[in-house]
Structure 1
Amino acid sequence: MTDTAIIELALQTMMVALKLSAPILVTALVIGFTISLFQAMTQIQEFTLSFVPKLVGIGIALLFCGNWMLHTMITFTVQLFESIPSMLQ
């Protein structure tokens, strides 16, 4: 296994991790920004006001993107296991 193959595998792994985490992180970011903007305008400083909407939003994002995320992870894993024999040579 060459250095180039290791770097390519690491790059593919990081790209899959980025793709899988993006829907959840973007949802949490948008909801968190919206709630913090609302808290700044109304001067309400309540921890649960930020936590509960993020939890609900992430749950909804997982419902919508979960199938795609699972398919992406399975595809990557299958490709990885299929490439093992060529890596050992």
Structure 2
Amino acid sequence: MKINNIKPGKIEQYYNQLKQNQKKTVEGSKNDQIKISSQAKGILTAKAELKNRPQIRIEKVEELKAKLEKDNYQIDSKKIAAKMLKNIK
């Protein structure tokens, strides 16, 4: 069976559902197979690795904290405005 047009966030859900359905197959349909593409397996692997990574980049926080303490933190208002406008489009 080939699965197309599945959003990456849903692959794990579909994969688990297919595994459960495979277990429930009757003996007359032992020829059914499930094939997960290498791309889908890669997405599952990447998703698992992302869960193990910290959400906060400590080195970046420390760098910003040091700049704030030294009154050396410069805000580029043009960059902020550009990003705000980019998010509106």
- TM-score under structure 2 length normalisation: 0.32
- TM-score under structure 1 length normalisation: 0.32
Q: Which has the larger radius of gyration?
A: 2
Larger proportion of helix? 1
